[in-house]
Amino acid sequence: MDKNIPLTEVVFYILLALRNPNHGYGIIQEVEHLTEGRVVLGAGTLYGAIQTLEKKGWIRIYSVDTESRKKKEYIITETGKEVFYSEMARLVELLTNAKLMGEDKND
């Protein structure tokens, strides 16, 4: 198995939120919206994850707004997309197998 997966739920949602350029607060809002409030990222968690993802080359800085407290926008890289899609395939396999086993429960 790829050593980069499984991803944590937080990393999965950050990568998902960065399919388009987004800044930190935008990521927090999008993840909260996508999960209907179930996952709420704290700033420390988010920015720690962003640093790690940048070091791994999974995300990169897209732009820096020097007029607005140097607000940075990030975007997922091709490497990040590969990892993300590998994780999606793993999750689909899990769900498919669970559904198959669920169909056998009456046997």
Give tens-digit pLDDT for 36-90: 999 999 999 999 999 999 999 999 999 988 776 768 999 999 999 999 999 999 9
The tokens for 104 are: 């056998």
| Per-residue pLDDT, 105 | 62
Mean local confidence (pLDDT), 24-31: 96
Work out how many domains the chain is built from and give that number. Answer: 1
Q: Which of 8-22, 26-40, 63-77 has the lowest mean pLDDT?
A: 63-77
Contacts of 12 (CB under 8 A, 6+ apart): 84, 87
| Residue that wins the pLDDT comparison between 67 and 27 | 27
Indicate which CATH number applies to the domain containing 25: 1.10.10.10
Residue span of the structural domain in which 36 resides: 9-103
CA–CA separation, 7 and 10 (whole Å): 8
Q: What is the pLDDT of residue 4?
A: 83
Closest to 27 (Cα-Cα) out of 38, 9, 40: 40
